[in-house]
Amino acid sequence: MTAPACLIDRYAAHLPLTARTPRLTLGEGDTPLVRAPRLEQETGVTEVWLKVEGMNPTGSFKDRGMVVAVAKAMEDGATSVLCASTGNTAASAAAYAARAGLPCAVILPAGHVALGKLAQAIAFGARVVAVRSGFDGALGVARELAESGDGTLVNSVNPHRIEGQKTAAFEICDVLGDAPDALFIPVGNAGNITAYWRGFREAKAAGMADRTPGMFGFQAAGAAPIVHGKAVAAPETVATAIRIGNPASWAGAVEARDASGGAIEAVTDPEILDAYSFLARCEGIFCEPASAAAVAGLRQRAKRGLLRDVRRVVCVLTGSGLKDPDTARTLASSLVEVEATAAAVRGAIRG
Ligand code: AN7
C-alpha cells in the first residue's frame, strides 16, 4: 500500500481536523531532502541536507499551512479569504482558494513583490491590491478587514497555518530517522520557525524523533527586528520575501531560539546573494533569495567556527528560484546574441 497522497490525511492525527474538514489537496508536502556535498566540503559539517520546499505546488512552503487554513475555512462556511503578503502567501492563498471555489483578495506592498509571485496571484484569479506601505502596513489592513467581516484571514496569525507548516518537521524526522542537530531557516514574519519548533517537539513526543534540534533563524541585515530586539520601521533587503519589520510570530521565534539553544542572526544582502548563486552553481538547486538566507547563515557560522559540535544540519529552502526572475538576471551581464551558425555560437560559448 502507498502512503496517502494528501498531506492532511498523512498527518491527520497531528492536525486540527474533523470528519467534516474537506480533504483539500494540490499535492503539497513530501518535498525532497537533498544532500549538499559542496556545502559539506566548505563548512566541514559531516551532513548538510536541503529541504527543497520550492517543490510544493505553488513553489513555496506556504502550501503546507494554506491547505489546512483553507480547508478549515471551507469547513467553517467561509465565503472568501484574504491575506497580506510579501508574495508567496498570496500565491498559495490564491491557488487553494481557486481550488476551494472561494474568492480571494491579496494585499501586497506596492513595488516589492517578486514577479513570479505576482503572476501566480493574477493567474489564480485573486483580487490583487497593492498598498503604499511595506508588508507590516499591509498586514494591519488585512487584520482590520478580517475583523470587520470582509473575509477569513489566512496569514500565519491564523493558527491553522502554523499547524500545517509543522508537517515539514515531521517529514525531516521520517526521512532521517531522527531530528538533525540543527535547523537553519530564514525568518520573516516568523511563522515558519514557530511551526518547525512545534513540529519537532511534537515529533519527539510522538516517538518520531529522540531529540529536538537547535533552531537557527536568519533575518536580512536590513530587516532584522528580532536580532536587534526592536521593530524596524523601514525594512530593506534584496530578499523581498523577508522584508518585514515587525513579525507577527515574534514571540514564537524567540521561544524556539531560547528553548532549543539556537540563535537568530543577521546575514547581509551580499551574503544572501552569494549563497543564492553558490546553491545554484555548485549544488544545482535554484531557490529564491530569502531561502538562501538560511545557507548564508550556515556559511557565516562555519567561518566563525561555530559549527564544531554539529554533525547533521538541515537548511530549509523555503521557495523556488523561479519566483524571482529579476534577481536571477542580476547574476549575469547581458545575454549574448549571435548569428545562427556553428562558428558564431562556438565563439560565443568559448567567450
Ligand atoms: C521564500 O508570503 O511572509 O518567517 O507574505 O516567502 O514564516 O514569514 C513570506 C515569507 C521565508 C519567511 N522564505 O517565513 C509572505 C511571507 C520565503 C518566504 C519566508 C517567507 P516566515
Nearest CA residue ID for atom 10, ligand 1: 241
Nearest alpha-carbon partner for 185 in 237, 244, 263, 259? 263
For residue range 91-137, what is the model confidence (pLDDT) as tens digits?
A: 999 999 999 999 999 999 999 999 999 999 999 999 999 999 999 99
CA of 1 to the centre of ligand 1 (A): 35
CA of 2 to the centre of ligand 1 (A): 32
Ligand 1 — pocket residues by CB below 6 A? 60, 62, 85-89, 156, 186-192, 241-242, 288, 290-291, 318-319
Nearest CA residue ID for atom 9, ligand 1: 241
Show the 3-state SS of the chain: CCCCCCHHHHCHHHCCCCCCCCCCCCCCCCCCEEECHHHHHHHCCCEEEEEEHHHCCCCECHHHHHHHHHHHHHHCCCCCEEEECCCHHHHHHHHHHHHHCCCEEEEEECCCCCHHHHHHHHHCCCEEEEECCCHHHHHHHHHHHHHCCCCEECCCCCHHHHHHHCHHHHHHHHHHCCCCCEEEEECCCCHHHHHHHHHHHHHHHCCCCCCCCEEEEEEEHHHCHHHHCCCCCCCCCCCHHHCCCCCCCHHHHHHHHHHHCCEEEEECHHHHHHHHHHHHHHHCCCECHHHHHHHHHHHHHHHCCCCCCCCEEEEEECEEHHHCHHHHHCCCCCCCCCCCCHHHHHHHHHC
Residue 17 CA to its chain's centroid (Å) = 23
| Cell 530593506, located at residue | 236
Nearest CA residue ID for atom 20, ligand 1: 241
Q: What is the pLDDT of residue 130?
A: 98
Nearest CA residue ID for atom 18, ligand 1: 241
Q: What is the pLDDT of residue 334?
A: 77
Q: What is the pLDDT of residue 133?
A: 97
Cα dihedral value 194, 196, 200, 203, nearest 10? 110
CB-based contact 74:310 (threshold 8 Å): no
Q: What is the pLDDT along the chain (351 residues), one digit of tens a residue?
A: 555 669 999 999 999 999 999 999 999 999 999 999 999 999 999 999 999 999 999 999 999 999 999 999 999 999 999 999 999 999 999 999 999 999 999 999 999 999 999 999 999 999 999 999 999 999 999 999 999 999 999 999 999 999 999 999 999 999 999 999 999 999 999 999 999 999 999 999 999 999 999 999 999 999 999 999 999 999 999 999 999 999 999 999 999 999 999 999 999 999 999 999 999 999 999 999 999 999 999 999 999 999 999 999 999 999 999 999 999 999 887 789 999 999 999 999 998
Q: What is the pLDDT of residue 3?
A: 57
CA of 88 to the centre of ligand 1 (A): 7
CA of 85 to the centre of ligand 1 (A): 8
Those residues whose C-beta lies under 8 Å from the C-beta of residue 340, and which sit 6 or more positions away, are none
Q: Which residue out of 120, 238, 242 has the highest number of ligand 1 atoms within 8 Å of its CB and is therefore the one to mutate? A: 242
CA of 349 to the centre of ligand 1 (A): 38
